[in-house]
Chain A
Amino acid sequence: MIELNHYLVLSAILFSIGVIGVLIRRNAIIIFMSIELMLNAINITFIAFSSFMGDIHGQIFVFMVLTVAAAEAAIGLAIVIALFRNKETINIDEINILKWLILSNNKFKKCRISFIL
């Protein structure tokens, strides 16, 4: 018998894989794929809750999430292409004209923290 918890654990695992993918991969498109994985993991949570509570709201939510994910894919790939035309790379380590955290002065450049990207 497959219970609610099985679905929840499965979706939590998939969500974590997505998060880890975003954090460690360096290719913008693969990062984006990991984000899609996170969204689909959430869809499993919604459907599991919806099905076990006998409530239709969760499934409606899933449709909306799918639609939004599709819209985000369209925009995201367009942004990646626009960047590739100017820069000829989608490796996010090389996309570093704007400094993440620290200061505009050169002496602090070395302690630039690349958080997430």
Chain B
Amino acid sequence: MIQLQDFNYIIPLLIITIGATVTLVIDAFSKNKNVVFWFTIVTVVAALSTAFIHIDIATIVFNNFIRINILSTTFQVLILTAILISVFSSKSYIEKEGINFGEYYSLMLFSVMGMILMVIGNDLLLVFLGLELMSICFYVLAGFMRKRIKSNESALKYFLLGAFMTGFLLYGIALMYGVLGTTNISTISSAGELIKTPTFLIGFGLFMVGFFFKLGVFPFQMWVPDVYEGAPTTITGMMSTAGKIAAVGVILPIVVSLASNITTFRPVFSVAAILTMLIGSVIALSQSNVKRLLAYSSIASAGYIMVGIASMNDWALKGIIFYLVAYVFMQLGAFIIISILEQNSSDTNEFKNLELNNYKGLAKENPVLAIFFTIFLFSLAGIPPFAGFWGKYYIFYAAIQANLIWLSIVGILISVVSVYYYLKLIVYMWFMDSDNTEYSQDVYRVSPLTNFAVSLTIVGTLFFGLFPEVFFNLFKV
């Protein structure tokens, strides 16, 4: 039975849904694009503040379809924070690029709706629908600059590969359904011996493949650099943070609850983790485009998350969640700074000012941006006292607790390799002289809203770097 008070538990989802629909209507009837923007901000802030209401409650509502507990609440808060920051940074960027359409915000809100459905869904049906809602919005947003071939191309690649992988995910769900006779995640988690049948294991493997694709884990990482390079920069930031958090939010509870029965998967996950970190770190060394460089660095981050997933214990839960917290702030911050520096070239319809060479001498021309970017890069590299350090620390601690000492040693060594390309970018910014004079001071004029977004990310990176335990006091995972 569905009771009326069940709706209390999904208030953030309802707010986002209504907000997304109303945004479309406002866009149709209002000439003023600012109204759409501010309405989106109000919607996201309202959803974010209501997400905290049920922070201490653990319950299952809507006929076992929705699971509300501390984990799902944490993921909701993380997703909404990422979206809030991306929306703040979007306005000046889409005005600059000439893509200031109201659908942009509406699609963002619909994708958030999908992500929230994914993390609170207690049924594979709901998880599948949420994943598709998120992905379909992302396909459109990746190709949002529809006059640019790069953007079109990234949308097509993302779409074809995404739909292809959806097929595998669904086949996995079908096989699991065939073995257990249900698609309910709680039932699957407590199914006992049936889980060890080969059909279920194949189904579970295919199911994981679908999410590994969304995360960009090793054999399925091909799309990441291309899509991230071609998509609008603010959307890239959103896809690489919120989208990944939602995917982790689905597989993490399932893996941890099935941990004792699926140890056969542990070597597979470990090898995937190592190869993901390796590919992300090594190929990033030779990139000359900053967006591609950060795309490879996000593949490496997926590798660290995989280390946690391979450890399959409670420490991994904490470690991954804290890594994601740090990741939201540092990754979004880095992409916002790239979006500030990016130039619109109306003649060739291409992205400009994204090469490493364009970052030469940034520190002289705009020290504040250079300092912020340096902090984000240090945090991504895992250098204390920034948040990224604690994320990596907790994850490797979890791996050691799970007796995966070799995995943590290899992971730490690879993360040393990755420091090189972050430092390279920093050296370009601080120790080299600019070789182009064509950009005027206008380039560095940052709108107040974008300023606010950057400040949020920098505060997050520093605060959780200095006081990591505050997060776990608030969210007792």
Contacts and interface: CB of A to CB of B under 8 A. Distances in A.
17 contacts: A18-B167, A28-B156, A35-B160, A35-B163, A38-B167, A39-B170, A58-B177, A72-B159, A75-B140, A76-B163, A86-B147, A95-B153, A98-B153, A98-B157, A98-B229, A116-B161, A116-B222
A17 interface: no
Contact of B283 (A78, A86, A102): A102
Given A60-B125, A75-B139, A101-B222, A49 B163 contact: no
A64 B125 contact: yes
A32 B172 CA distance: 20
B157 A117 contact: yes
Shortest 9 CB-CB contacts between residues of A and residues of B: A38-B167, A98-B226, A83-B152, A49-B178, A45-B174, A103-B286, A104-B288, A68-B132, A42-B170
Contacts of B173: 61
Interface residues of B, number: 47
A42 B171 contact: yes
A51 to B, nearest CB: 11
Contacts of A42: 167, 170-171, 174
Given A83-B152, A98-B226, A45 B171 contact: yes
A64 B171 contact: no
Interface string B147-166: 11110111111011101101
B222 A115 contact: yes
B477 interface: no
Interface in B211-238: 222, 225-226, 229-230
Majority-rule SS of B interface residues: helix
B175 interface: yes
Nearest to B132: A68
Contacts of B230: 98
Contact of A72 (B136, B157, B289): B136
A32 B149 contact: no
Interface string A93-112: 00101111111110000000
